[in-house]
């Protein structure tokens, strides 16, 4: 099974490049399943139902969130209607929506997607390690799902690396999001879990984390807000990760970063033989 994960979509620049490129990527790489972090897709703050629909129409199978999950207040209501939109699993009990969803891939395989949020330099939610341990106990690889992908939305690489190794062998992939900057550590961990500290963002990299740089620079210089953060409006670059999964074990056999667009050094995955092919 071949799976694509794309990092945080930021604003219109990110939405446009993803919606334009995703159908072609699905075809080119014969993707069975696509997960995208969409928590900054609505002007940098949350996601609307219309944007969610656009991403699903473009070919996303599941959209994950993070610390901006409920910036668009409507999300508190419409998230209940969608199986393909999830928020971090370690929000307090009673939070609308869910943190995990079991979906069918094109191949017919059952894919469990889980979203969790770190606690270092982010709001102090329930323990993500314990929340994920409990979910993976309830729905384990092979007995409960053919593949398991975890989007760990966190700031600190230490917390992300610790979680990756804590879950190594129990998930197909643990991919970090939130910093909007791709890391160069994509690999398969010793136990067979694909890992990358941060998938980067889909958006305009001539910016500060996808936002026009004037206001962030002003706030660093003066500590006095002068305006709102506005998403940068140039062309978008896509950043993510292609993951090949062994159908027999549900574990990863290969990971390849994918970066395409005007800003970053490109990373174009080879078109690998599907697992099981010669
Ligand atoms: Fe975030």
pLDDT digit string, tens, across residues 104-133: 999 999 999 999 999 999 999 999 999 999
Q: How far does the centroid of ligand 1 lie from the alpha carbon of residue 48, in Å?
A: 16
pTM of the entire predicted model = 0.96
- Count of the separate structural domains present in the chain: 1
For residue 276, being part of any structural domain is answered with no
Residue 22 in domain: yes
At 123-165, the pLDDT tens digits run 999 999 999 999 999 999 999 999 999 999 999 999 999 999 9
Domain around 7? 2-260
Q: In angstroms, what is the span from residue 24 Cα to ligand 1's centroid? A: 27
Domain presence at residue 272: no
Cα 113 to averaged position of ligand 1 atoms, centre (Å): 18
CATH of the domain at 150: 3.60.21.10
Domain membership flag for residue 271: no
Residue 91 pLDDT > 60, yes or no?
A: yes
Per-residue pLDDT averaged across 184-192, rounded? 98
**Would you say residue 73 lies in a domain?**
yes
Average pLDDT of the residues in 50-65: 98
HEC string of the chain equals CEEEEECEEEHHHHHHHHHHHHHHHHHHCCCCEEEEECCECCCCCCCCHHHHHHHHHHCCCEEECCCCCCCCCCHHHHHHHCCCEECCCCCCCCCCCCCEEEEECCCCCEEEEEEEECCCCCCCCCCHHHHHHHHHHHCCECCCECEEEEEEECCCHHHHHHHHHHCECCECEEEEECCCCCCCCCEECCCCCEEECCCCEEECCCCECCECCHHHHHHHHHCCCCCCCCECCCCCEEEEEEEEECCCCCCEEEEEEEEECCCCCCECCCCCCCCCCC
Q: Mean pLDDT score of the chain, rounded to an integer?
A: 96
Answer yes or no: 263 catalytic: no
The reply to whether 266 falls in a domain is no
Task: Give me the mean pLDDT over the 43-68 stretch.
Answer: 98
Q: What is the pLDDT of residue 272?
A: 57
Report yes or no on 265 lying in a domain.
no
What pLDDT is recorded for position 255?
97
Distance from Cα 31 to the centre of ligand 1, integer Å? 26
Write down the catalytic residue from 68, 153, 178, 180.
Answer: 68
Confidence of residue 82 (pLDDT cuts 50, 70, 90): very high
Q: Is residue 269 part of a domain?
A: no
* Tens digit of each residue's pLDDT (9 = 90 or more) over 205-229: 999 999 999 999 999 999 999 999 9
């Amino acid at each position: 099974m071949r799976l694509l994960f794309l990092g945080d979509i930021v604003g219109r620049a990110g939405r446009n490049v993803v919606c334009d490129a995703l159908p072609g990527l699905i075809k080119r790489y014969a993707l069975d399943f696509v997960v995208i972090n969409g928590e900054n897709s609505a002007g940098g703050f949350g996601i609307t139902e219309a944007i969610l629909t656009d991403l699903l129409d473009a070919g996303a199978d599941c959209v994950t969130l993070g610390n901006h999950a409920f910036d668009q207040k409507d999300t508190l209501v419409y998230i209940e209607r969608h199986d393909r939109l999830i928020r971090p699993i370690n929000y307090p009990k009673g939070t609308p929506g869910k943190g995990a969803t079991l979906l069918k891939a094109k191949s017919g395989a059952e894919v469990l997607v889980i979203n969790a949020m770190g606690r270092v330099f982010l709001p102090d939610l329930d323990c993500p390690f314990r929340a994920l341990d409990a979910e993976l106990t309830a729905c384990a690889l092979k007995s409960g799902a053919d593949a398991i992908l975890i989007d760990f939305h966190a700031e600190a690489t230490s917390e992300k690396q610790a979680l990756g190794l804590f879950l190594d062998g129990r998930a197909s992939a643990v991919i970090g999001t939130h910093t909007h900057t791709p890391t160069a550590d994509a690999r398969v961990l010793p136990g067979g879990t694909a890992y990358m500290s941060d998938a980067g963002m889909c958006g305009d990299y001539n910016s500060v984390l996808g936002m026009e740089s004037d206001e962030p620079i002003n706030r660093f210089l003066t500590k006095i807000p002068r305006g709102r953060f506005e998403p940068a409006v140039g062309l978008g670059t896509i950043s993510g990760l292609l993951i090949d999964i062994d159908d027999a074990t549900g574990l990863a056999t290969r990971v390849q970063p994918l970066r395409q667009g005007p800003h970053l050094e490109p990373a174009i995955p080879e078109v690998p033989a599907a697992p099981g092919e010669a």
